[in-house]
Chains A and B, each alone.
Chain A
Amino acid sequence: MNKPTSILFIITGLLALLLGIFFGAISALQFILPGFFEVLPFFKSRPLHVSLVVAWIFSAAVGGIYYYLPNHCNLPLYSKQLPRIHFALFILTGLLIIISYMLGKFGGREYWEFPPVLAIPIIMGWVLFGFNYFKTVMKKKEPWPVYLWMWATGVFFFLFTFSESYLWLLPYFRNNVIRELTVQWKSYGALVGSWNMLVYGTAIFVMEKLSNDKTVALSRLSFLMYFLGLTNLMFGWAHHIYIVPSAPWIRHFAYFISMTELLILGKLIWNFSHTIKQAKDTYGNIASRFMAAADVWIFINLILALLISIPAINIYTHGTHITVAHAMGSTIGINTMILLSSCFYIIEQTNKATGSGPNNKLIGWGFWIVNSCLLVFFISLVAAGIIKGYYTVENELSFQEIMQKTAPALTVFVATGLGIFAGMLLIVLSALRKLFR
């Protein structure tokens, strides 16, 4: 197979997405059927699910950037060799992480449960990517559109926050549980912000191409939104640790910063009618359709994010399934929809020469199955979270009693999770067929 490295990253990402959702389905079934699939118990299936979905997000975003810079931004890569080394490192590390999870070899913390030594090749890969990216974009003489700023920010802050998340290796951080949790979630919050920069930068890039309007990515409003996002990336993470007895000013400051996202919500509402009209006009285009879905999910998730950033609400929702609803709604509804839009945009571009597009009918089915299942999935998690939060804080029921009360909502969550997997199969297999040709 002689494919450009950018396409190899995207193919790998799509495969990781399918596997990630497959392990997610196993994890979910283990929630309601104890003992299900015993060869891969929950403490192994959950990290496999999380790591593979994170791999999908990074792989598709990075593959897109490697593709867009030379093909659409008129910026030939500084080095064509470095992406190949980056890809080799990515595959090798990914396989080692999967093997370590399968064998039950852990050692890290939540989300990076693999043995810490495997963080080294991950950092090396990102250094190569960052070096190549900056050397490439620095050649641009004209003002940078906002997506180049966002990608640059995403690359830099991934390296910073990923390294920061390993400070627990030092006894100063590890030996004080309050400091350790505070720094852990400071890094994780900003790390999610860093991948959002990569993904939202991709969204603006694809929208620019789809609408053929180059002014948006250079506009004052786009840059104000970028700086607002950057501020939240840096300072808006502490809603994760409102109940950890860290210094109060950390929580109050984060509360204030989080509320600045009301400006983004206001902008979405302001643009709502325009967004609906655009979605109707471009419904036939697959990339546009996924982007329109992402817009709807941004609206839904932003409202939830704002609510759970209010300490008075957070004290009930923290540690409940509402946090999972927020995480799943963001990774599937926003990140995955945007990245699928980017993948299909690339597929459309690469297939222009042959004149054959992807199978729209199958993808259309998959699109509606995924989005309708995701909506019910999201609502069931919110319902389970409300039940858990209320009975934990107000009624002080035991964990087992609360789990019994959440069981109906979690059964719906599992059923719709399987629906998401089925719908995603239709979408991803159609995409892979085109990419493998």
Chain B
Amino acid sequence: MSLLHKRLFFWSLFIAFGIYTVVVFTDDAGDDMGAEYFTQEAANGKLLYQKYNCTACHQLYGLGGYMGPDLTNVMSANGRGEFIVRAFLKSGTQKMPNFNLTDDEINDLVAYLSYVDKSGISPVRDFSINADGTVEVFSNGAKE
């Protein structure tokens, strides 16, 4: 393979990657998903989620740690909901430490989890599998 061919391959890929990156960055797929729930409290909650490293144990959309449950829909799941979430945040559990959160911090985290809850569904259970291995998801859009 000549140097010219190598350079041609490399720069073609690089330019395609640049265009692809811009398209991914500007994709608006998530803009309508629960956006009205993204309040200032939810924005604070997002940063608190990072400050207390919740991702070490919990997942959002299946991404994160394995010690605790996925929190994507914790606010609307059967047997969970805001009351349970507030209780866990206030006191911790056998596995989850008590972070001594203030009431404001709990409100912010609840607001963030409420926003995430409206953005989609995880895990996905309502789907069909196509012959080419792709999956058609029937209910993974924003919640009403």
B55 contacts A109, C-beta separation under 8 Å = yes
- Say if the beta carbon of A246 comes within 8 Å of chain B: yes
- Say if the beta carbon of A43 comes within 8 Å of chain B: yes
What is the CA–CA distance of A43 and B16 in the complex, to the nearest angstrom?
39
From A72-80, A83-91, A181-189, A260-268, give the one contacting chain B: A181-189
- Say if the beta carbon of A362 comes within 8 Å of chain B: no
- Say if the beta carbon of B102 comes within 8 Å of chain A: no
- Say if the beta carbon of A179 comes within 8 Å of chain B: yes
Contact of B24 among A149, A171, A250 (CB under 8 A): A250
What is the distance, in angstroms, from A106's C-beta to the closest C-beta of chain B? 4
A110 contacts B63, C-beta separation under 8 Å = yes
Kindly list chain A residues whose C-beta atoms are within 8 Å of the C-beta of B51: 106-107
What is the distance, in angstroms, from B131's C-beta to the closest C-beta of chain A? 10
What is the distance, in angstroms, from B99's C-beta to the closest C-beta of chain A? 9
Instruction: Contacts A42-B67, A220-B1 given; indicate if A176 touches B31 (C-beta within 8 A).
Output: yes
What is the distance, in angstroms, from B7's C-beta to the closest C-beta of chain A? 11
Size of the A side of the interface (Cβ < 8 Å), in residues, is 68
B63 contacts A181, C-beta separation under 8 Å = yes
Q: Encode contact with B along A65-102: 1 for CB under 8 Å, 0 otherwise.
A: 00000000000000000000000000000000000000
Q: Encode contact with B along A145-188: 1 for CB under 8 Å, 0 otherwise.
A: 00001000000000000001001000101111111011101100
What is the CA–CA distance of A245 and B55 in the complex, to the nearest angstrom?
20
Kindly list chain A residues whose C-beta atoms are within 8 Å of the C-beta of B33: 177-178, 245
What is the distance, in angstroms, from A249's C-beta to the closest C-beta of chain B? 9
Contacting residues of chain B (124-142) with chain A, CB-CB under 8 angstroms: 124-125, 127, 129-130, 133-135, 137, 140-142
- Say if the beta carbon of B83 comes within 8 Å of chain A: no
What is the CA–CA distance of A399 and B116 in the complex, to the nearest angstrom?
19
From A227-235, A336-344, A368-376, give the one contacting chain B: A227-235
Contacting residues of chain B (16-53) with chain A, CB-CB under 8 angstroms: 16-17, 20-21, 24-25, 27, 29-31, 33-35, 38, 43, 46-47, 50-53
A106 contacts B52, C-beta separation under 8 Å = yes
- Say if the beta carbon of A208 comes within 8 Å of chain B: no
Q: In the complex, given contacts A107-B51, A393-B124, what are 5 additional A-B residue pairs having Cβ atoms less than 8 angstroms apart? A: A220-B1, A235-B20, A247-B27, A250-B24, A318-B62
